[in-house]
Structure formats: structure tokens, C-alpha cells
Structure 1
Amino acid sequence: MSRITEILRYPLKAHGRERIAEVTLEAGNAMPWDRVWAVTHEATRHAEGWLRCSNFTRAAKAPQIMAITAELSEDTGTLTLRHPQRPDLTFRPDHDTEAFLEWVRPLVPADRAASNGILRLDGRGYTDSDFPSVSLSSLASHAAVEQQLGQSLSHHRWRSNFWLEDLSAWKEFNLVGKRVSLGGAVLEVRERITRCRATTANPDTGQRDADTLGALDQFGHQEFGVCAYVLQGGLVRTSDRLEVL
């Protein structure tokens, strides 16, 4: 039906994307190491387990952080962050919170709640959905947004886990409610993803430069991509195919 062109994860929620060649999904969990950490701020309402995205520093409020890229060492739990306006930072999110907070402070607007800590949630992860999910998006839908805006855009502004080609624009919405195989895994596609102002920021510069939400309005919705629940774990590689079961 369609083929995976790129796999991405976001170890520290909203603070850096990382391209990977393959991943072994686990039933009932988000992608391993995806959004396993998240950055709290002064207005965070702390509670056990999963928290809504409003409790964390995010690009919707601090667009500069959209331009962060990440590189995770799974063996050591060490994360390297890069940004065009900051020196590279290599740190351990579980231990080196202060080093990270000093590094990220210039990227968060002074009139926004200041970042003040890092939380960790293994397995479930701090996905935006209220269930552990992985996200899938279509390159054709991205191209439709580009055409609507009349400008070229990086697809990384959508922060999806799996990118698919050979799928007509917006046809990924038809997968909602269906089971699909993705490489060696089986997923249940549950819902469309409603988008926010984070997508208006350029993932190379951190500057707001595209009215992505206005473009989506022209298609009659504010949604891009879908999120799915992993029913059966398995290895998924770039170039694997997605099939409806």
C-alpha cells in the first residue's frame, strides 16, 4: 500500500528530532526512547504518570526549540543536542538537568514559563495522545500543504515517527479504525492528530515562517497525520511497507 521513507524519534519531548534506520516496536508502548523525557516549566501541574503537553515546554510557545536536533546513546543514556544558535550540548537527562536548563534558557521567550526540570516516563512516554502511540504521516499530504501555501517546507515540522510515500494526500485519515501491518509490527490506527502553532516554526531556523494552520483550514480541518496503538511488536525498518489487514 505504502512504504516507509523515514523513521524519527524525539527522546526529549519537543527538544530535538533524531533519524533512525530501524526500531523494534513493543506492544502497548510508544516507540522506544520516543518522548521518554519531557521538560517541565513553572506552571507544570505535577502528577504520577502521563501528563498533557501543556505541562511541558513546547515549540507552540517557544518556536526556537523546533530547530534542535538530537543524538541519543542508548547504552549510556547520554543525549547530544544541537541548535544553530547554541553550542552542542552532551548531557545525561537523568542527572545533568542544570546543564540542560542553562543551555536551553536563551531559546525560551522571557514572557513564557521558564523551563525548570526534566521528567522521565519509560514505555508509555509523554506522547501528545492520552494513550501510548506512534504517529504516521504522508509525504503527499505534506506536499498538499506546500502547494496550498505556495512555499517549500521541511516535513520535520510535523514531528511524526513514520513517514509514508505512495499514499494519496489525506488518505491516511481513512486508516483510522483499521489494523495495519508496519514491517513486523501490527498497529491499530486510532485517531487523527490535531495540530498546533508548533508547526508554524521552521525546524531548521526556529523562526515562524508558514501559516500551516491556515493552510489546513483550507482543507476543512486542523489535522495532519494519524496516531496508532501497537498491538503486536516487531522490527520496523526504513523501506518496509504498510498494509491494511
Structure 2
Amino acid sequence: MAPHLISITRFAVKGLTGEALTQAPLEAGRGLQDDRRYALALAETRIDPDNPKPLPKTMFVVLMRHARLAALSSRYDPASTELQLSAGGSDLGRGRLDSAAGRAAVETAIAGFMGDDLKGPPRLVEQAGHRFTDVSVVSPEMMEAVSLINLASVRAFEADLGRPVDPRRFRGNLLVDGLEPWAELDWVGKPVRIGEVTFEGVLRTRRCAATEVNPDTAERDIKLPTELMRRYGHGDMGVYLSVTGGGTIAAGDSLTPPA
């Protein structure tokens, strides 16, 4: 099987579920459109809308600290900015994120769903020109990086672990197959091509406690960072890529790894 792109996923709101895209336009130096455009700030988090600054993920409602969040499903419409929320097949609420009333409706729905897991209602925030990516604190360039997961690495980890590992745990933008296991960890500083778009590997993805959460049960059932370290001497799964040449990628596109 030749290396190729399996799927593209956008996470419009940091910490919430992602949405599959059949294709996505990319520009040099920019990440996936609308990816991590919004975040759910904790009640105590202070954000200056006129002075955007990267903040650590501990300042937001995220799976690393709030496992129950995995049981909440979301769907984002970029044309209207409407966010729909549901859990267990039931509609919890919706609202347009470009209006105060819409954001308030979303915040109320999430606060009700999370209950005592949160100390005060969250605030849905957006900052112009800013993405709430985990690596935004590294540099402005890393804030725009696209995350890639190699399915062969996940399968190798599953085999060593002796139990299934859902790739959704890693919340990658790009899921690829047809490579050797762990090949992506050697891409830092090297060119990669997917379809007509060129990338450069910029950073291996160090995994955190968010990956411990089962995306179906919302329970912490595998200490993935610990298991990765125990078996391989590192806690990495996947790699961040910087877009060096723009174009449109689509599911099924061929992938050309570094020579």
C-alpha cells in the first residue's frame, strides 16, 4: 500500500470533537482553516481580546483535565458559525459563535453538561489571528502547525500494548497510512508532500493525559503517555508539519515522505 492521506479533521473548538473534511485548502505558513479557532476558557482564565497571547492548555476546558468532555459531541458550520451540541443522541443546544447570545447559549449548555466538573461556567473565546493549539505557546509559527498521525504507528503501539487504541485519542488533523511504523518521528526538518501541498516536519508530538480518555466512554482507561515511555523511551505519537507550499489536499491524496 502506497503512502496516502486517509482523512482530514478540523477541531473548530479546542477540546471538543472534530469534523471530517473531504478536502481542505492550505496556505504557506497557515494551519487548517478554522482549526482551534475557538476555545472554552475556564471561569478563572483571564483573556485580553485586544492583546492575544498564547496560554497553556491548562487554562481551558480540555480532555487533559476534564474527561467528561469526550461524551459531548459538537458540529460546527463555518458559513454561519453555528455550533451544535449533543450527548447520547440528545440535542443539548446550539448557538452562533459570532453573537453574544449564541455564545451564551453554548456556554450554558456546556456548563449544564459538565456540572461539578467545572468551577464556574466556561467562556467561549476567540482571538483574531490566533489559534488555540497546544503548541501556540512554543512560537507563532508552531501555532499554525498541522498535526499528522501515522496509522501504522498506532497499530504497532496496539500490538505492543495488547489492546485497541483508537486514533481519535490523538486528535490529529491528518491521518495517513502506508508508511513504516514510527517513520514520521524522523521527519523533523525534512520535506513532505501530500497531493499538491508541501510541508516540513517541525516537531514530534509529545502526548499528554488527554490521550488517556476513551473517546467512546469518556473514561480514562489507558495511561498512554506512560505506556509509550515504557515501551519506546519517549512519549511521542505523530508529528507537527508546517505548510511550505499551498494548495488543496483531499482524502486519498498520495503522500511523499522525505527521501
- Same-fold status (TM-score > 0.5): yes
Q: Residue 44 of structure 1 corresponds to which residue in structure 2?
A: 45
Q: Residue 77 of structure 1 corresponds to which residue in structure 2?
A: 81
Q: How does 1:65-214 map to 2 (within 5 A)?
A: 65-84=69-88, 87-95=91-99, 96-108=102-114, 110=116, 112-121=118-127, 124-130=130-136, 131=142, 132-214=144-226
Once the two structures are superposed, residues 98-142 of structure 1 have per-residue CA deviations (whole angstroms, 9 ceiling, x without a partner) of: 222222124436354444211114554211113211100111111
1:223 aligns with 2:253: no
Query: How far has the Cα of 1:145 moved from its partner?
Result: 2.2
Query: How far has the Cα of 1:66 moved from its partner?
Result: 2.1
**Corresponding residue SS for 1:101:** helix
Q: Residue 59 of structure 1 corresponds to which residue in structure 2?
A: 63
Q: Residue 14 of structure 1 corresponds to which residue in structure 2?
A: 15
Gaps spanning 5+ residues in structure 1: where? Answer: none
Larger radius of gyration: 2
Higher helix share: 2
Structure-2 separation of matches of 1:53 and 1:179: 29
Query: How far has the Cα of 1:71 moved from its partner?
Result: 2.3
The one-letter amino acid of 2:235's match is Q
Maintained 8 Å contact 2:107/2:124: no
Structure-2 separation of matches of 1:122 and 1:230: 20
Query: How far has the Cα of 1:46 moved from its partner?
Result: 2.1
Mark the CA change 1:26 to 1:220 in structure 2 (over 3 Å): closer, same or farther.
same
The one-letter amino acid of 2:238's match is G
- Number of aligned pairs? 245
Among all aligned residue pairs of Structure 1 and Structure 2, give the percentage whose two residues are the same amino acid.
Answer: 28
Once the two structures are superposed, residues 2-32 of structure 1 have per-residue CA deviations (whole angstroms, 9 ceiling, x without a partner) of: 2111111100111111111110012222200
The one-letter amino acid of 1:73's match is D
Gaps spanning 5+ residues in structure 2: where? Answer: 137-141
Mark the CA change 1:83 to 1:166 in structure 2 (over 3 Å): closer, same or farther.
same
Query: How far has the Cα of 1:45 moved from its partner?
Result: 3.8
**Corresponding residue SS for 2:227:** helix
Structure-2 separation of matches of 1:155 and 1:119: 27
Structure-2 separation of matches of 1:84 and 1:153: 22
**Corresponding residue SS for 1:129:** helix
**Corresponding residue SS for 1:141:** helix
Structure-1 separation of matches of 2:115 and 2:182: 34
**Corresponding residue SS for 1:203:** coil
Structure-2 separation of matches of 1:177 and 1:25: 20
Mark the CA change 1:231 to 1:113 in structure 2 (over 3 Å): closer, same or farther.
farther
Once the two structures are superposed, residues 202-229 of structure 1 have per-residue CA deviations (whole angstroms, 9 ceiling, x without a partner) of: 1112111222122211211111111111
Structure-1 separation of matches of 2:44 and 2:195: 40
Maintained 8 Å contact 1:141/1:169: yes
**Corresponding residue SS for 2:70:** helix
